[in-house]
Amino acid sequence: MATELQFEHKPKIVFAITDALIMIRRSTTHIVRNTDQLLGTFFQPIMFLVLFAAVFGGAIEKSLPHGVSYINFLMAGIIIQTVAFGSTTTAVSICNDLQQGIIDRFRSLPMNNIAVLSGHVISDLFRNGLSTVVMILAGLAIGFRSSANLFEWLQIAGLIVLFTLAFSWLAAIVGVLAKSVEAVQWLTFVIIFPLTFASSAFVSTDSMNSVLKAFAQNQPITQFIDALRALLLGTPIGNHGWIALAWGLGSMIITIPLASILFRRQASR
């Protein structure tokens, strides 16, 4: 009755890659099918951008260096903040997979299980990329102007990709450890809110009190924002680019294996 089945015979490493590709396709299909979430992907960044620019713009512009408009200052911060909040989706998707029977299915297959994680992380990169493009277009519509040339735009893209990956792997750990989707929501909230607000995202850190300023100026998110801002506005980048690169790569050296180990452990309960 059954047709003759053809199996692939490839080295393990090749299978690890095809497994990841299959999982990326799965997670990306989720993004497209999940229309509510997709709307959020488009409208949340626009809303943040317009509200911040309109509400705080007038007050904050006075404290900025002469000639810098708030929308130009804000752009880097709001991109990083949106990406950080966007990583919540990775955590939620992974948590969902673990809570439902599907994880047992994947684990009973001769596949590389970590592909489940990388699938969500990479598809999140696509979604965040889309958010970022939407936001830059919206920014251009309300007065944002960049002096970046093609080479600088490539660096900008690279920096955003690095930040997205680094943050999504961090979120993957949250997703693996959280007992429920609700727990994911508040966990990411508790991590992301202080990190993005106590940074140079919305105001110059010079206006903060000394303790907060010390934290805000040295934490990784500020490094990314400052590097991104310098590239967008053509101001001196200093060490921010290198420090951001080190933070991004350094954190992934820890978070990727950690997420994988925790995932294996959590899934085999």
Partner 1 sequence: MPKPDYVIQAKGLKKSYGSNEVLKGIDLKVERGTMLALLGPNGAGKTTTVRILSTLLKADAGSVMVEGFDVAKDADKVRSVIGLTGQSAAVDELLTGRENMVMMGRLYRLTKQSAKDRAEELLEEFDLLKAANRPAKTYSGGMRRRLDLAVSLIATPPVIFLDEPTTGLDPRSRLAMWDIIKKLMANGTTILLTTQYLEEADQLADQIIVIDGGRVIAEGTATELKSRVGKDRLELGFKDAKALQAATEALGKEVVDTNEKEQSATIIITNTNKDVRHVLDLLTAAKITLVSMAVHKPTLDDVFLSLTGKQTPSKKAGDK
Question: Which residues in 74-103 contact partner 1 (CB under 8 A)?
Answer: 100-103
Q: Of these, 47, 54, 55, 105, which contacts partner 1 (CB under 8 A)?
A: 105
Which of 105, 126, 99, 107 is CA-nearest to residue 37? 126
Q: Residue count of the chain, please give it.
A: 269
Assess 30 for contact with partner 1 (CB under 8 A).
yes
Assess 264 for contact with partner 1 (CB under 8 A).
no
Q: Of these, 11, 65, 108, 151, which contacts partner 1 (CB under 8 A)?
A: 108
User: How far apart, in whole angstroms, are the C-alpha atoms of residue 256 and residue 113?
Assistant: 13
User: How far apart, in whole angstroms, are the C-alpha atoms of residue 24 and residue 126?
Assistant: 10
Binding span for partner 1 by CB under 8 A among 5-13, 120-128, 212-220, 226-234: 5-13
User: How far apart, in whole angstroms, are the C-alpha atoms of residue 194 and residue 219?
Assistant: 11
Q: Of these, 29, 180, 235, 239, which contacts partner 1 (CB under 8 A)?
A: 29
Nearer to partner 1, 126 or 215 (CB): 126
Q: Of these, 20, 41, 110, 213, which contacts partner 1 (CB under 8 A)?
A: 110
Give the residue carrying structure tokens 């809570």.
99
Give the residue carrying structure tokens 């949340």.
44
- Cα–Cα–Cα angle for 178, 83, 216, rounded to 5 degrees: 90
Nearer to partner 1, 12 or 66 (CB): 12
Assign residue 9 a region (left: φ > 0; alpha: ψ between -120 and 50; beta: otherwise): beta
- Given a contact cutoff of 8 angstroms between Cβ atoms, the answer to whether 23 and 119 are in contact is yes
**Residue 182 Cβ, how far from partner 1 at the closest point, in Å?**
19
**Residue 24 Cβ, how far from partner 1 at the closest point, in Å?**
12
Give the residue carrying structure tokens 């080295």.
11
Assess 7 for contact with partner 1 (CB under 8 A).
yes
- Both tokens of 83, joined, read 């990406």
Residues 6+ apart with CB under 8 A from 179: none
Q: Of these, 5, 13, 150, 253, which contacts partner 1 (CB under 8 A)?
A: 5
> What is the total count of residues that contact partner 1 (CB under 8 A)?
31
**Residue 3 Cβ, how far from partner 1 at the closest point, in Å?**
6
Nearer to partner 1, 63 or 268 (CB): 268
Which of 102, 118, 93, 79 is CA-nearest to residue 221? 79
Fill in the amino acid letter for 267. A
Nearer to partner 1, 107 or 145 (CB): 107
**Residue 133 Cβ, how far from partner 1 at the closest point, in Å?**
24
Residues within the interface to partner 1 (CB under 8 A): 1-3, 5-8, 15, 18-19, 22, 25-26, 29-30, 33-34, 100-111, 268-269
